[in-house]
Amino acid sequence: MKELRLFSILAGLFAIALTGCKKDIPASLSLLTSNISVEAAGGSQDVSFLTNQSWSVRSSENWVTVAPASGGASDVYQAVTVTVAENPDESSRTATLSLTAGEKSGQITVTQAGMPRFTIRDFLAKKADKTTWYKLTGEIASLPEKNYGNFYLVDDTGLVLVYGLTEKQTTANDQSFSKLGLKPGDTVTIMTLRSEYNGNAEAGGTIPAYFVSKTAGEYKLGKKVASTKAGWLELPATSSTDKQDLLIHYFPDGKRSYAAYYDYTNLVSTWVAYPLCSGYIDSGSRSVGSHFPMDPLLTQEQQPYLAYGYKYAAGDDPLDRGHQIPSADRGAWRVNMETFFSTNITPQNSDFNAGTWAALETRVRGWASRSDTLYVVTGCYGTDKAVHSATDTESKKVGVPTGYYKAILRLASDKYSAVAFWFDNKANAATSIQKSMAMSVDELEKKVGVDFFVNLPEETQKTVEAQNPAEEAWWWNN
């Protein structure tokens, strides 16, 4: 019995000793890495660690998952697989993996890159097809149409015509666009196919684009005023009581681009005034293709809708959508687009627009390239829709001018000079600009009733406006 009792005592002591040894083993946890990086597209990576304890791991974000999520002690390295979902946003993001093993814990930071921004330039570089959908984000630059969702979308890389936008994805335009309450200046995200019309890239098309989200904003590149006291040298006199408004459009950097003095009765600008220098000029390429957007400073009812040109009476001469500030006078794509606003357009005789008027515009750009600055006023005269009118796409009457003019103030080496022109709005076979076509600014003022260059010092204004440009050799030698 002694031997049995002794054996029991020894066995108990041995068990106690074993238990005591196990409790004395310190918990350990070793991570091979504390940071992992993943591309925006997402993916999986293995993370290895060594621990002598049972362990578990959890993620701080639901876009990161770990498998397995728990396990037991091991005397060799174990691994878990970290899976990261695609990051749909442009900004990067981080998550934290917390691994706990007994009293020990460790953290692994997961950093995922943002999705490279898909720009309008990227979209334009794609080929047209009817299966690949793209997410586009940009600002609404002009919104001429209330039901079908036709507008120009811009970002800092370019612009594209969205031809049809619906509230939800559909195979045909259901005219749900009006429910979205979008306006110029809003930033909008859409899903769209890449289409083309007459060789011009479009978003939407036969299968419309559809709405994703918007951030409300305001159109920032223009303002409407009844009159102005701005000291810009190109501005004629304005009045706060003549029922016309001055529509001022700017470059994105805040410099003025042009000002249009708008006649609400005849739906044309009486004149458009703008500075012109060599840095503003382009070869004449058009940023908007054949579409003419509406001016965001006015409502659709206050201006003509010219996406499909003018309709004119049988027997009338064809009418072009004639620019007052020419497209080629603004090379940067954003401000070039704004030269196509309907408030800058008038119904101009097609032969005259493509002939003598185009020759004059080219000559003016040549003068600008040899000057510090030209200050130009382009206007139309004799506009009375009760006498002669065309109609826009919505059958609104637009007055057809009887004539067009330009008044030009040149600044070079701190000296001013001026020249003016007036032409009938009819076919003109002249293909070059001769001194016999020119007149003084004073003569033009008497003809059209506009007081030009009112911001010049009074004596300078009198002298310059009285000059006979036919006697100024510079105009004809350059």
- The DSSP string of 8-56 is HHHHHHHHHHHHHHHHHSPP-EEES-SEEEE-TT-EEEEEEEEESS-EE
- Domain boundary residue, one of 164, 197, 215: 215
To which residue do tokens 């000296």 refer?
415
Rounded CA-CA distance 478/470 in Å is 13
Co-location of 424 and 275 in the same domain: yes
Looking at the structure, do residues 138 and 99 belong to the same domain, yes or no?
A: no
Note the pLDDT tens digit of each residue in 392-451.
Answer: 999 999 999 999 999 999 999 999 999 999 999 999 989 999 999 999 999 999 999 999
Q: Are residues 441 and 310 in the same domain?
A: yes
Look at residue 68 and tell me if it is in a domain: yes
Number of domains the chain is built from: 3
**Is residue 149 in some structural domain?**
yes
Same structural domain, 425 and 466:
yes
Mutual orientation of helices 458-466 and 441-448 as an angle, nearest 10°? 90
Q: How would you label 143-159 residue by residue, b for 16+ Cβ within 10 Å and e otherwise?
A: bbbeebbbbbbbbeebb
Query: Which amino acid makes up residue 335?
Result: V
Are residues 76 and 184 located together in one domain of the fold? no
Same domain, 337 and 379: yes
Q: Does 230 lie in the same domain as 194?
A: no
Residues in the chain, overall count: 478
pLDDT of 290: 67
| In a domain? residue 162 | yes
**pLDDT at res. 307:** 86
Does 464 lie in the same domain as 388?
yes
Which residues neighbour 407 within 8 Å (Cβ) at sequence distance 6 or greater? Answer: 236, 376, 377, 379, 418, 420, 441, 444, 450, 452, 453
Q: Is the pTM of this model over 0.75?
A: yes
Q: Coil, strand or helix: which one is 94?
A: strand
ω before 68 within 30° of 0 (cis)?
A: yes
- Give the residue carrying structure tokens 């969702």: 149
| 137 and 87 in a common domain | no
Q: Is 157 found in the same domain as 53?
A: no
Q: What is the CATH number of the domain that holds 64?
A: 2.60.40.10
Has residue 391 been placed in a domain? yes
Residue 10 inside a domain? The answer is no
Q: Which two tokens stand for residue 132?
A: 């690949």
pLDDT at 20: 45
Is 310 found in the same domain as 342? yes
**Domain of residue 92, residue span:** 29-112
Instruction: Give a yes or no: residue 9 inside a domain.
Output: no
Among 91, 112, 133, which residue terminates a domain?
A: 112
Task: Give residue 25's pLDDT.
Answer: 81
Residue 310 is part of a domain; what is its CATH number? 3.40.570.10
**Helix residue spans in 59-198 (DSSP H):** 120-125
Q: Which two tokens stand for residue 142?
A: 């002009």
209 with 226, same domain?
Answer: no
pLDDT < 70 regions, the chain = 1-24, 283-285, 289-290
Q: What is the CATH number of the domain that holds 177?
A: 2.40.50.200
Any domain includes 235:
yes
Nearest-angstrom CA–CA distance, 57 and 64: 12
Cβ–Cβ < 8 Å for 325, 341: no
b/e 297-328 (16+ beta carbons within 10 angstroms → b): bbebebbbbbbebbebeeeeeebbbbbbbbbb
Of 96, 112, 128, the residue at which a domain comes to its end is 112
Nearest to 49 by CA among 65, 28, 25: 28
Q: From CA 245, how far away is CA 264, in angstroms rounded?
A: 8
In a domain, residue 464? The reply is yes
d(CA 461, CA 441) in angstroms, rounded, equals 10
